[in-house]
């Protein structure tokens, strides 16, 4: 599964501390037709300073012509944040 491979690649390259994968049903227009597909959402837990490098790696290795790469800010508890800092490289 591509989501597993991408998650593993990102975590092994220390661009995220954790990867979560969820199955979803997607509907979207493509080539003038409504598409319905089973896809997977990959959530990666990282720091804002790594977003550009993370997005570039995903875009390079993703099979979709236009992968959806979203980001949002979130707060994390101190213990988890400290664990993340010990796991991944920060800029």
pLDDT tens per residue, range 19-76: 999 999 999 999 999 999 999 999 999 999 999 999 999 999 999 989 999 999 999 9
> If we measure between CA atoms, which residue out of 86, 1, 9, 74 comes closest to residue 41?
1
pTM greater than the 0.85 cutoff: yes
pLDDT exceeds 90 at position 90: no
CATH architecture type of domain 2-87: 2-Layer Sandwich (3.30)
CA 84, 66, 3, 37 torsion: positive or negative? positive
pLDDT of residue 1: 86
């Amino acid at each position: 599964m591509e989501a597993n491979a991408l998650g593993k690649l990102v975590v092994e390259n220390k661009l995220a501390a954790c990867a979560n994968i969820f199955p979803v049903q997607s509907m979207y227009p493509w080539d003038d037709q409504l598409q319905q597909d089973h896809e997977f959402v990959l959530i990666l837990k990282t720091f804002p300073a790594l977003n550009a490098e993370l997005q570039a790696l995903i875009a390079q290795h993703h099979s979709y012509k236009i992968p959806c790469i979203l980001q949002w800010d979130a707060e994390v508890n101190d213990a988890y944040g400290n664990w993340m800092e010990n796991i991944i490289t920060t800029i």
